[in-house]
A and B are shown apart, each in its own frame.
Chain A
Amino acid sequence: MKGIISYGAYIPYNRLQRKKIGDFFNKPVFGGVKAVAGYDEDSVSMGVEAAIDCLQRMEHEKVDSIYFATVSASYREKGSIPTIAAALNLPNTIRGIEASTSLRSGTSAILAANETENTLVIASDSRTGAPTGQNEQWFGDGAASFLIGSGEDVIAHIIDSGTVQGEVITSWRSQSDPFTQNWEERLGSTVFLEQVKSNIVPFLEKNDVTADAIAKVMISGPGTRAHTAAARALGFKNEQIQDPLFDKVGAAGNAHAPMMIVSALEAAHPGDYLLTINFSEGLDFILFKVTAAIEQLPARKGVNGYLKIHSDKIAYSDYLKWRELIVTEPPRRPDIERPSAPALYRGYNQNLSFTGSKCRSCGIPQFPKQRVCVQCQQKDEMEDYRFVGQSAKVTTFTLDYLAASPAPPMIVAVIDFVNGGRIICEVTDCDPKEMKIGMNVEMTFRRLYEAGGINNYFWKARPIRQKESS
């Protein structure tokens, strides 16, 4: 039976306190924080991070296809899966589908995963609400990832599932709209509640499961309150309702329901039933049963881990700047030139999967790939060597107040890997005051910049703040 073999999540490091929005506009706001993608993050980079969390040290050859679900794709016209597959060092024969307009794509991707194959599902979103609007407060950024397949490693079987299409205008954004628009929330919540009653009740009866037999119900509905009404209508008690993360992350679009699934799995025990209901012009609903294999799942960051790794120092003005919602004076430096497409093409294998070379003759790892070894000068004695997942230390660093950066000063460090090899790269998710020689760092996949409409993805270092939570 098909099910979840592994899960992963990603929540960006920066959390904007909603009261700062209220202070700026002098108006009442929701409490809590919203997760804010850094200036160097987007749905692709966050998706890759969630997938790294999901795949851990698994053999990547086992992944047959990728489904990528987002409404905030980095291009309107150009695929993201080749970037994601290369960054994850997955086989280039991998198939993929990008689902990029429906907020239900995340759960639909789980359901569409082929029975006989291992499918990597990545749901990632970074939506921008118009300043002063409710969406701005409510939206948050994040990603979740699942490996869907069958066999003994499945940690949560998909017992049954269903889908209902139910056309209704609740939230939408046209090709030319800069921001998501909403109809009056009561329309969506009324339609949603009706869809839940008429579909979930018979679904549970058919599976001979009652609400009290289900450990957790994960509901992503329209607006901030509909999920509670729906859960109560189905007979669930408050403690059975999975926290929708509004106070800690915000509504993360396609990643919202998947992140709730990850949260539920983090607390689940073998034998638990979990029900997820995801709304967007209709419903996807999935009934999971957790297996004993969950106890063997290796530790990872997940939602719990990433919730703990955060900074709420970000100012509302930083957020406005990063999302290009205010116009600022450019630095007195030449504009960043767009990267050369042929140079990118030659370097994709190296740069996206962060693969350097290791000399067969003297054993020294080197990045970028070299023809002639820097240590022993042997020519063409190199084999590919991947640096991702290796621990590293800061050897020296600088804070560059002159370099063009959306968050000056640009932190650049000389990073030495514990198993050999060096890179000089940017450090992200870090306060300049934290920088120290000897600091432990790990590599994280980021969007370096966008120039000429081209997104340039590469790796940066970030401080290791915490071991995986299990």
Chain B
Amino acid sequence: MGKKGITDKVAVIGMGCTRFAEHWDKSVDDLLVEAAYEAFADAGIEPSDVEAAWLGTMISGYAGITLSGPLKTQFIPVTRVENMCATGSEAFRNACYAVASGAYDIVLAIGVEKLKDSGFSGLNAPKPANDGTVPNISAPASFSFLAPAYYEKYGLSNEQGREVLSRIAWKNHYNGSLNPKAQYRNEVPMEKITKSPMVAALLGIMDCSGVADGAAAAIIVRTEDAHKYKKDPMYVKALSIAAGPGDGRLRQDYDFTTIKENVAAAAAAYAQAGIKNPRKEIDMAEVHDCFTPTELVIYEDLGFSERGHGWQDVLNGVFELDGELPVNPDGGLKSFGHPIGASGLRMLYEMYLQFQGKAGKRQLDNPKIGLTHNLGGTPMQCVSFISIVGKEIS
């Protein structure tokens, strides 16, 4: 699948990201304008320079007019993209391909979500009319299937597993405490995470990502044009997305200790970027830590850890800021917050800041290759996106 890719053909020359938060005082329009104009200013372009745009949102608006209205773009093409929680990444992927094709020279990819206006906790997406026989379980419940299956397969007691999950949440909160744009900017003690109120089997409220409003944006051009705008652009090495056939719902050989879509997306992305040993070759990653067990399984699916050993790597601090492969340096979904359509672009925003040395207190030591991973759906069936981005042309 898609092993050719567009390595180093396009580059990001400007980015913007609102703070992710409960923005009671800001509308979808406000968030879009803030993120887009921050990106325009960062790239040093005028809004009218943008030739086409891709807008990612899951439930906060329909069609391209959701963006062209607030920005007053002048009759340029705007495509609204939806791929569940991978929506923001999907807007970015399609924008990159359009530039690489030569159809446009300069485009905008932007993602937005307003979750806090519904009055319900978490994401409550409307469903197509259906026969109502599939259990309507919450998002944490569907990801909580992973924890008992993982513990059972690798012989962890609930207490051992709890420590691993708490450590992941603790790490992401610590990283977020160093990030002025994160939803939650405080460290959370291990004990508080471990004792947080239950939301689903083995998972407490502190195992869940933050429910937030926010927007993030990127300006993309072809690599040969990048230095006209920016001395330190971010280069796109690989883009992949895998949509699952539903094996987890239908096949007994799916055992809930992996997410097959992750494995497929990683294989395609690594082939495009020529990565053989992800743990060694990748300097940092932003991954889809919607719930703590998801992040644990991702380590193994993406080849950061050997199968069955991700939990030990967690306890050894491998993925912490000063570890061998820092994961979610900006705080991740857990601490930065998860406005669905914006999250994929927010992950890229952290890569961009880290490459430019602008990540403040959480700055890593000269990272050159980064990975973002963004997942939409459930462990049983989802779309899984991976990008590999770099500071330099290979």
Contact = CB atoms under 8 A, between A and B. Distances in A.
A437 B149 contact: yes
B135 A456 contact: no
A340 B124 CA distance: 19
A363 interface: no
Interface in B371-390: 380
B140 A402 contact: yes
A224 interface: no
B252 A420 contact: yes
Nearest to B256: A396
Interface in A395-412: 395-404, 409-410, 412
Interface string B92-134: 0000000000000000000000000001111010010111111
A404 B247 CA distance: 27
Interface string A39-64: 00000000000000000000000000
B74 interface: no
Interface in A338-372: 338-340, 343-344, 346-347, 351, 364, 366-367, 370
B167 to A, nearest CB: 22
Given A347-B131, A402-B200, A422 B136 contact: no
Contacts of B5: none
A448 B247 CA distance: 25
B255 interface: yes
Interface string B120-162: 1110100101111111111011101110110010000000000
B249 interface: yes
Contact of B251 (A336, A343, A404, A422): A422
B41 interface: no
B131 A340 contact: yes
Interface of B: 119-122, 124, 127, 129-138, 140-142, 144-146, 148-149, 152, 198-201, 245-247, 249-252, 255-256, 380
B134 to A, nearest CB: 8
Contact of B198 (A401, A410, A458): A401
A445 to B, nearest CB: 12
B142 A398 contact: yes
Contacts of A344: 131-132
Contact of A403 (B138, B249, B250): B138
Contacts of A178: none
A451 interface: yes
Contacts of B256: 395-396, 414
Interface of A: 332-334, 336-340, 343-344, 346-347, 351, 364, 366-367, 370, 374-375, 395-404, 409-410, 412, 414, 416, 420-422, 424-426, 435, 437, 448-449, 451, 456, 458
B131 A403 contact: no
Given A399-B200, A437-B148, A425 B135 contact: yes
B133 A456 contact: yes
Contacts of B247: 374
A198 B247 CA distance: 68
A414 B246 CA distance: 13
A83 to B, nearest CB: 14
A366 B198 CA distance: 33
**B119, B124, B201, most chain A CB atoms within 10 A:** B201
A398 B249 contact: no
Nearest to A373: B250
Contacts of B133: 339, 347, 351, 448, 456, 458
13 contacts: A333-B120, A339-B131, A366-B250, A375-B251, A396-B146, A398-B145, A401-B198, A401-B199, A402-B141, A403-B137, A422-B250, A422-B251, A424-B380
**B135, B245, B246, most chain A CB atoms within 10 A:** B135
B135 A334 contact: no
Given A374-B246, A395-B255, A398-B145, A410 B121 contact: no
B251 A400 contact: no
A388 B129 CA distance: 27
Contacts of B245: 374
B132 A397 contact: no
Contacts of B200: 398-402, 409
B141 A400 contact: yes
Nearest to A425: B135
A140 to B, nearest CB: 29
B249 A351 contact: no
Per CB-CB distance, the 8 closest pairs between chain A and chain B, nearest first, are A339-B132, A400-B141, A340-B129, A402-B138, A396-B149, A343-B131, A399-B201, A374-B250
A333 B149 CA distance: 28
B145 A397 contact: yes
Given A424-B380, A456-B132, A398 B137 contact: yes
Given A336-B136, A366-B250, A374-B247, 15 more contacts: A333-B124, A339-B131, A339-B133, A344-B132, A347-B131, A347-B133, A351-B133, A364-B251, A375-B251, A399-B141, A400-B200, A416-B252, A422-B251, A456-B131, A456-B133
A410 B198 CA distance: 13
A366 B250 CA distance: 6
Nearest to A346: B131
Nearest to A411: B201
A370 B246 CA distance: 11
B119 A426 contact: no
Contacts of B198: 399, 401, 409
Given A333-B120, A395-B256, A437-B152, A422 B130 contact: no
Contacts of B134: 424
A346 to B, nearest CB: 8
Nearest to B136: A403
Contacts of B120: 332-334
A361 to B, nearest CB: 15
A448 B132 contact: yes
Contacts of B141: 398-400, 402-403, 410, 412
B201 A397 contact: yes
Contacts of A336: 132, 136
Nearest to B380: A424
Nearest to A424: B249
Contact of B149 (A332, A338, A395, A422): A395
A402 B197 CA distance: 11
A347 to B, nearest CB: 5
A289 to B, nearest CB: 45
Nearest to B143: A398
A93 to B, nearest CB: 25
A401 B120 CA distance: 14
Nearest to B130: A343
A344 B199 CA distance: 31
Contacts of A375: 251
A44 to B, nearest CB: 16
A400 B138 contact: yes
A349 to B, nearest CB: 12
Nearest to A432: B201
Given A403-B141, A424-B135, A437-B148, A340 B201 contact: no
Nearest to A339: B132
Contacts of A346: 131
A176 B111 CA distance: 54
A397 B120 CA distance: 25
A346 B129 CA distance: 13
A424 B247 CA distance: 12
B202 to A, nearest CB: 8
A313 B200 CA distance: 22
Contacts of B152: 396, 437
Contacts of A424: 134-135, 249, 380
B264 to A, nearest CB: 15
B129 A343 contact: yes
Contacts of A351: 131, 133
Contacts of B132: 336-340, 343-344, 448-449, 451, 456
